[in-house]
Amino acid sequence: MDYSFLKRRLRTQAVHKRSEIALDHALWCAQEVARRFRDLPLPENPVVSAYWPMKTELDLRPLMASLYAKGVPVCLPVVAGKDEPLLFRRWEPDARLVAGPYGTEQPDEKYETVVPNVLLLPLLAFDRAGGRLGYGGGFYDRTVARLRETGNPVVVGAAFAEQEIDSVPSEDTDEKMNFILTQDEIVKGM
């Protein structure tokens, strides 16, 4: 079954719903997510991939700063090519970010490339089975699939609780999340 039309419609609805979240609530949610992160089951010696927020995405910068202060390596995704998996470069609070494709900001090439074992993914919508509705480029699906070929990364959707829907349409190329981290709870996905 081709889910293209359904996913497009759900993306439009999800962007609209997320844009209605008040700024003061979004700031509070960012703090709660940073606090709740410590309750996730993480591997020994975690290397955490986060993301630099675009538009109304959940802001992980408080969590990134907290992890960095504790000595946990933090990295950000880098778009390597249109149909390629993402690369990850180390991030630090004073890292120089450059404009990437699709409105992203990413560390420039002077920062070390690393392989994360914990991935925090942005999303438009999620369901309780670990389904994730992204932006449609497939970058995270390709990346998670590649990382799962050689390891067991902890894949975590970072979201406002308000982004939950009953069911995300799933295709063969859609990778499920292990957990969804919201301001209210940690949802066990797959």
pLDDT tens sequence across 26-46: 999 999 999 999 999 999 999
Q: What is the four-CA torsion angle of 135, 51, 151, 137, rounded to 10 degrees?
A: 20
Contact 165, 15 (CB under 8 A): no
Residues 1-20: pLDDT tens digits?
567 888 999 999 999 999 99
Longest pairwise C-alpha distance within the chain = 47
Architecture of domain 4-188: 3-Layer(aba) Sandwich (3.40)
pLDDT at 3 (0 to 100): 76
Contact 100, 110 (CB under 8 A): no
The segments of the chain whose pLDDT lies below 50 read none
End-to-end CA distance of the chain: 22
CA angle 81, 107, 137 (to 5 degrees): 35
Contact 53, 128 (CB under 8 A): no
Helix 23-36 with 61-69: angle, nearest 10 deg: 30
C-alpha gyration radius of the chain: 15
Give whole-number Cα distances, 42 to 114, 130, 132, in Å: 17, 17, 20
